[in-house]
Amino acid sequence: MSEAGNSSGCLLGLALVPLLMMGGCIAPIVFLGGIPEAAQATCGGSAALGISGDGISIDTDDIPSGSVAGYSGEQLVNAALIMNAGEALGLSVRDQTIGVMTAMGESSLKVIDYGDAAGPDSRGLFQQRANGAWGSYEDRMDPTTSATNFFKAMMEVEGRDSLAPTIVAHRTQVNADPNHYTKFWDGAVKVVKALAGVDLPGVQEGTGQSTCNDVATVPGEVSPDGWALPAKGPITSMPGSRNSPTVGASTNHRGVDIGAACDSPIWAVQDGTVVAAGPASGFGHWVKIDHGGGMTSVYGHMYANGLLVKTGDKVKGGDQIARVGSDGFSTGCHLHLELWNGEQLLNPVYYLEEAGISLG
């Protein structure tokens, strides 16, 4: 259910030493020991993958008989009406599928004339609330009108082609759980393909948390020297002890935390070779890149399905390598970034700033 719509001075020069903010100045510190928007989706061609302007319409008199992914009869008709509402707005097959997925997660593709404890005034396919954002009761109970209003709100989601389907739905519906809709994606893909009567390369099963429809990536911002922004978001924690301005060996926070949105892109900071990509103690999952000359970068807290590279891959600065998560020792979605020069830990904030990249 949605809410807005439903219920449910002292800077040192570039140095190969990390820096710690102390008393307003930046003091060099050394750690030893190795470590255990404006972007647009580039999905191999938008026309091929259904990213924009290639939606399909469905003949509601030619609905498949029987069950598709556990949905049948009126449910499939409603899915077709949702798709047609998206096509009328010039949306893509992916957008249409997100609409079907969302209605599955809200109403099982039924026009529901009741709400729940979180939203007793929620109604219709999308469980839209009587808050003025979704029209009248009649609008919310009409499949085409309610779907049209859902899609119009979804079109306001910035960079939706670079977000996982469940995140697009979440930001439209403003529901409690951003991952609620993930489990409905594969069913939505099956239904959309069955209604279309043809295979659609723009939507694939198993991609419910992908940024686009295959293993799509979003290019990052790269400086003339090839350094790239690792993620977009505020700095939420600096290197050093989290609880003290001094460095404690047992409490060192070895990197910088960037409070990027769940499922948003993580980019390689420089050209290199992926030397690790998978589970890691504390991080949940991580990626480590060797940039040559002893320089390595580490990215942590991604979920398994948020890893977009594998060991041995060659990457360029600005290539998307993963999606932001909150796995391991984490209390919310963010990127933990470390930079190392051999066994010397660097402060990414100041190192990258000297390289032309401003974090936060």
Which domains occur in the chain, in start order?
19-38+219-354 (2.70.70.10), 46-196 (1.10.530)
Give how far the C-alpha of residue 316 lies from the chain's centroid of Cα atoms, to the nearest Å: 21
User: Residue 330's pLDDT is what?
Assistant: 84
Q: What percent of the chain has pLDDT over 70?
A: 76
pLDDT digits (tens, 9 = 90+) for 83-137: 999 999 999 999 999 999 999 999 999 999 999 887 899 999 999 999 999 999 9
User: Residue 339's pLDDT is what?
Assistant: 93
User: Residue 38's pLDDT is what?
Assistant: 24
Tell me the average pLDDT across 1-5: 50
Tell me the average pLDDT across 13-42: 28
Q: Is the pLDDT of residue 34 over 70?
A: no
pTM for the model stands at 0.52
User: Residue 213's pLDDT is what?
Assistant: 37
Tell me the average pLDDT across 223-249: 69
pLDDT digits (tens, 9 = 90+) for 173-204: 988 777 789 899 999 999 999 999 877 766 77
Phi, psi of 27 (to 5 degrees): -110, 140
Q: Please, are residues 19 and 238 in contact by the beta-carbon 8 Å criterion?
A: no
HSE of 187 in the Cβ direction (CA atoms, 13 Å)? 22
User: Residue 2's pLDDT is what?
Assistant: 53
User: Residue 37's pLDDT is what?
Assistant: 25
pLDDT digits (tens, 9 = 90+) for 123-170: 999 999 999 999 999 999 999 999 999 999 999 988 787 677 888 899
Q: Pairing state of beta strands 284-292 and 235-237?
A: unpaired
Q: What is the 3-state secondary structure (H, E, C) of the chain?
A: CCCCCECCCCCCCCCCCCEEEECCEEEECCCCCCCCCCCCCECCCHHHHCCCCCCCCCCCCCCCCCEECCEECHHHHHHHHHHHHHHHCCCCHHHHHHHHHHHHHHHCCCCCCCCCCCCCCCECCCCECCCCCCCCHHHHHCHHHHHHHHHHHHCCCCCHHHCCHHHHHHHHHCCCCCCCCHHHHHHHHHHHHHHHCCCCCCCCCCCCCCCCCCCCECCCCECCCCCECCCCCCEEECCEECCCCCCCCCCEECCEEECCCCCCEEECCCCEEEEEEEEECCCEEEEEEEEECCEEEEEECCCHHHECCCCCCEECCCCEEEECECCCCCCCCEEEEEEEECCEEECHHHHHHHCCCCCC
User: Residue 208's pLDDT is what?
Assistant: 59
Tell me the average pLDDT across 329-349: 90
User: Residue 108's pLDDT is what?
Assistant: 97
